[in-house]
Amino acid sequence: MSAEPLPPRHVATLENAYRVAHKIAEATDQDMQVAATGEPERPFVAEPANDRTPGVVARIVSR
């Protein structure tokens, strides 16, 4: 009997992406944002803040 590979289980929920963006902003003193990707496997992504990314749902401003 052969085992089939499991599908990826990591789904970036809005809450997880926001938490990651917030932690990075605090640790690096860099503004971050959370953007919707439109991809079901990874619906949200935390990334450095910029004005080019469409679908931004939250921006975390560092102090």
- CA–CA separation, 13 and 36 (whole Å): 10
Q: Locate tokens 């079901």: which residue?
A: 40
Distances (CA, A) of 16 to 3, 4, 44: 30, 28, 9
pLDDT higher at 4 or 17: 17
**pLDDT, tens digit (0-9, with 9 covering 90-100), for 5-62:** 545 555 579 999 999 999 999 999 999 999 999 998 889 999 999 999 999 999 999 8
Q: Where on the phi/psi map is residue 29: left (φ > 0), alpha (ψ -120 to 50), or beta?
A: left
Say what the pTM is: 0.79
36/45 Cα distance (integer angstroms): 7
